[in-house]
Amino acid sequence: MDTSNPALFVNAELLRMHVGRRVRTVIQVLRSDSGGSVIGNSTDGQQLVIKGHPPGPLSTFVEVIGIADSNQSIRADIWNNFGDVLDTASYNVVCQLANGDYKHLFI
């Protein structure tokens, strides 16, 4: 298992703090642009742009892992389908905890 490049849990809020770094987040897919990007809602309700080509059909919730381009976009390498049901509130709290008190557990 490759742990050399850990990706931080972020939501839209936290994304801006880690621009340029490897991050991961879950978005709710709103639409896919043919130009190679997917627009989705982050778990805290803001819109994000995910650049890249998804490997296959996307479910409602998708986890993307990649480098943060800007405050609102991620260049995704890995796409994971999370299914159609997700408790976004819980994920949000996890993001906050992962960046706050329990950062030492993740990075």
Partner 1 sequence: MSETKLTKDAIAILSGGDAAAESDIRPVLQVADIRLVKTQNQTTTERYRILLSDGSFTQQGMLATQQNDLVRSEKLQKGSIVKLTQFVCNFIQNRMIVIIVNLDVLVEKCDPIGEPKPYPTKNDWSTSSTARQATPGQPVNQPASGGINPSSIGSGSAPHVPPSGEDQSASSSSHGCSFPSSKDSRSYNTANASPKYPKTEYGSGVLRAHVKNPPQLSYHQPPHQTLANRGLIAPRIIPIAALNPFQGGWTIKARVTSKGDLRRYTNTKGDGKVFSFDLLDSDGGEIKATCFNVVADKFHPQIELGRVYMISNGSVQRAKENFNHLPNEREIFLNSFSTVQPCFEDDKSIPHQQFHFLPISDIENLARDRNVDIIGIVSSISPSSSIMRKNGTETQKRTLQLKDMSGRSVELTLWGNFCNAEGQTLQKMLDSGLFPVLAVKSGRVNDFNGKSVGTTFNSQFFIEPDFPEAQRLKTWFDGEGKSTPAISISRGTSMVNVRKTVSQIKDEKLGTLDKPDWITVSATLTYIKVDNFCYTACPIMIGDRQCNKKVTENGDGKWRCEKCDGIVDKCDYRYILQMQIQDHTGTTWVTAFQESGEEIMGISAKDLCTLKHDEQDDVKFAELLRSVLFTKFLFKLKVKEEIFNDEARVKSTVVKAEKVNLQTQSRYLLDSMAKFKDEDLGTLPPPKSEISFQHLGRTLGNLCPSLMSGPSAYGNSNVTPGIYGMARYQRVG
**Footprint of partner 1 (CB under 8 A):** 1, 3, 6, 59, 63, 80-83, 85-87, 90-91, 93-94, 97-98, 101-102, 104-107
Give the C-alpha separation, 20 to 40, whole Å: 20
CB of 90 to partner 1, least distance (A): 4
Are 64 and 24 a contacting pair, CB within 8 Å?
Answer: yes
> Is residue 80 exposed (0-12), middle (13-18) or buried (19+ Cβ within 10 Å)?
middle
CB of 57 to partner 1, least distance (A): 12
Cβ proximity to partner 1: between 34 and 104 the closer is: 104
CB of 70 to partner 1, least distance (A): 26
Beta bridge partners of 27: 42, 62
